[in-house]
Amino acid sequence: MNIIHCIIVALAALLGCTAISAQEKEFTEHLDQKVVTEGKAVTRRHETVFFDTAKDALSTEIEASTNYASLNGVWDFLYYDSVQDMLADPRKVPSTIKVPGNWEVQGFGTAIYVNHPYEFCPRNPRPPQLPDKIPTGVYSRKFTPRFGAGEKCYLNLCGVKGGAYVFVNDKFVGYSEDSKDLVRYDITPYVESGKEADLRLVVTRWCTGSYLECQDFWRISGIERDVYLSREPATVPDDFDWNVVSTLDDDLCTGDFRLSVNSSKPINVSWTLLDAQGKETAKGTTETVQGVKQWQSAIKEVRKWSAETPELYTLLLCVEGKYAKADVGFRRLEIVGNRFLVNGQPVKFKGVNIHEHNQFTGHYLTKEDIMTDLRLMKEHNINAIRTSHYPLPRLFYELCDKYGFYVYDEANIESHGMGYNLTRTLGNNPDWLPQHRDRILNMYYRTRNYPCVTILSLGNEAGNGCNFYDTYRELKALEKDGQNRPVCYERAEYEWNTDMLVPQYPGAEWFRKMGESDYPKPVVPSEYSHAMGNSNGSLDRQWKYIYEYPNLQGGFIWDWIDQGLYETDNEGKMFWAYGGDY
């Protein structure tokens, strides 16, 4: 047993004596506006799972790594009308539930569909106040972690809708409430390798974070993305991160490749950049990194990435003897005058908005679901996707890199139910700045390395004001020496804190006027041509002007897929339910 493992065991013994048990937990975090997370490892990084060999990293997907263990499947589940009911009757006989998958589409509670009101307080909301009774789900399952001496074991929650309390072996591990963020917990102190352990998640349907998740979609709850274990060397600190900048020099033929690695503790790092044929094009030999280390290489006659030609390179990263890989695409993104250019050429965004939606599973999408959506989009000449109104799972970005889509990546923020008045909107309430900033940075750091991410969005329909002024400045500073992606926000409208004009639902005449006036920013409506029912009127006229005027650069249709849920009537006949059916 080496010294690192001894320290881990000692910490585990200590925590076993001091950690809060489920019976002692008061469950107040979801009611506290100031608490956005507790106990999680630093997760603002590219989602990384290590492989044991370079060959495995290059030839298989993350899910096939020996350092990855899925916890998806059938879990035990208890449903309560409130947290108080759960505390009063914690040991009733459980049902079962499929994970991932929202509980309302599996027979627990009621699905709710509203547009802009808060479903828990449709009139006169007073944040951060919440209802006295909040439906609560308790998920539990057993698992057997396996990790060696000198390794750490992480629990990864890719998306939990609601306030999520995590317990391992009856000890409180942490809490989170950004439902579309990857949350990682170092559970090494709570478990033993090879010994069966208990995992429990207590999820409240609503939390103070729900005030920032007022999107126009089904308001449903629970674990709605993958759950998995991962392991990595204990010498790799939680704050380890890496960032790729892959752009083009002024000649538009030479690739500018920059790799930055950040670590608070010394770690050994090397890397290789491979082309599509597996040929080495650049490399960095092993160095001990502490703090920030940057490498830079020029790639002659680089093959460029775009939605039309999604040429990819592969970064193979070696960290402490373990391997990770990522796609790299060389493209130059810039605004010149009032035109947005990709690789020196103006683009027309033939875009759509997309929600995570499946008629059977609610917000959970399988790989096949995502691939079907992207295939149909390609078949219908769509080249751009807005992630309305939250970041999507890792696989979505990987496939957009591969197949070629411009992604308008959006933070998980919408407070539409508060309206837009500066005296009411949470976007102009400095008490809510930490919550806005947390969600915007969660999006940025998790997805910044994907070549497909072309536009950054601060959120949707959340008013404007000081919180969006501050976060706009912060993202612009982060992008200044990076990909220089435009930062946009639709509620900024004609204000300064958006790099493009991205309004919603303009008509054909508005397009004509904006083109004739030669508006000084690129014009790309973030939502237009509402597609429900018998709709999309005047789309041909809108595109007549988009093609005619250079500063009009397309838009994003609302939205990609109708959000019906599969139901059966009293006669056993299938139908697609809408919000009024519940």
267 near 235, Cβ under 8 Å?
Answer: yes
528 exposed, middle or buried (CB, 10 Å; 0-12, 13-18, 19+)?
buried
CATH 2.60.40.10 residue ranges of the chain are: 242-328
Half-sphere exposure of 185 (CA within 13 A, CB side): 25
Residue 314 tokens read as 């592969």
Q: Is the peptide bond before 122 cis (omega within 30 degrees of 0)?
A: no
Quick: pLDDT tens for 46-61.
Answer: 999 999 999 999 999 9
DSSP letter, residue 20: P
Beta bridge partners of 219: 112
Mean pLDDT of 73-82: 98
Residue 2 has pLDDT above 60, yes or no: no
Mean pLDDT of 189-195: 97
How sure is the predictor about 44, in pLDDT bands with cuts at 50, 70 and 90? low
CATH 3.20.20.80 residue ranges of the chain are: 348-565
DSSP-derived pairing of the beta strands 453-457 and 406-410: parallel
CATH 2.60.120.260 residue ranges of the chain are: 3-233
Q: Does domain 242-328 have CATH number 3.40.50.300?
A: no
DSSP letter, residue 190: G
CA dist list (Å): 194 to 144, 164, 200, 202, 261: 6, 26, 19, 25, 33
- Cα 213 to the center of its chain, rounded Å: 13
Mean pLDDT of 353-358: 96
Cα distance between residue 67 and residue 54, in whole Å:
14
Of 43 and 9, more confident: 43
Q: For residue 13, what pLDDT is reported?
A: 35
Mean pLDDT of 139-160: 97
351 near 555, Cβ under 8 Å?
Answer: yes
How sure is the predictor about 533, in pLDDT bands with cuts at 50, 70 and 90? confident
Cα distance between residue 183 and residue 521, in whole Å:
37
Task: Check 47, 232, 461, 479 and give the catalytic one.
Answer: 461
Residue 16 has pLDDT above 70, yes or no: no
Query: In degrees to the nearest 10, what's the CA dihedral of 394, 397, 400, 405?
Result: 150
Quick: pLDDT tens for 437-462.
Answer: 999 999 999 999 999 999 999 999 99
Residue 243's nearest CA partner among 261, 256, 266 is 261
- Number of Cβ within 10 Å of residue 518's Cβ equals 11
Cα distance between residue 290 and residue 574, in whole Å:
59
Active site residue 104: no
Quick: pLDDT tens for 366-391.
Answer: 999 999 999 999 999 999 999 999 99
With b for 16 or more beta-carbon neighbours within 10 A and e for fewer, the 491-507 pattern comes to bbeeeebbbbbbbbebe
Average pLDDT for the chain: 94
Q: Say whether 327 sits in a helix, a strand or coil.
A: strand
Quick: pLDDT tens for 539-579.
Answer: 999 999 999 999 999 999 999 988 889 888 888 898 888 87
Of 581 and 62, more confident: 62
Quick: pLDDT tens for 159-187.
Answer: 999 999 999 999 999 999 999 999 999 99
Cα distance between residue 29 and residue 36, in whole Å:
8
Catalogue the long-range contacts made by 244-247 (C-beta closer than 8 Å, 24 or more residues apart): 244/315, 244/326, 244/328, 244/449, 245/481, 245/482, 245/483, 246/313, 246/328, 246/329, 246/330, 246/331, 246/451, 246/483, 247/330, 247/331, 247/332, 247/333, 247/483, 247/484
Q: For residue 5, what pLDDT is reported?
A: 41
Q: Which CATH superfamily is domain 348-565 in?
A: Glycosidases (3.20.20.80)
Residue 495 tokens read as 């204000």
Q: For residue 4, what pLDDT is reported?
A: 38
Half-sphere exposure of 259 (CA within 13 A, CB side): 24
Q: For residue 534, what pLDDT is reported?
A: 77
Residue 45's nearest CA partner among 223, 209, 187, 183 is 183
Residue 540 tokens read as 């041909």
Q: Which CATH superfamily is domain 3-233 in?
A: Galactose-binding domain-like (2.60.120.260)
Mean pLDDT of 495-507: 98
Quick: pLDDT tens for 470-486.
Answer: 999 999 999 998 899 99
Mean pLDDT of 73-92: 93
Q: For residue 413, what pLDDT is reported?
A: 98
Task: Check 527, 548, 567, 571 and give the catalytic one.
Answer: 527
Residue identified by tokens 């538009």 is 252
Active site residue 379: no
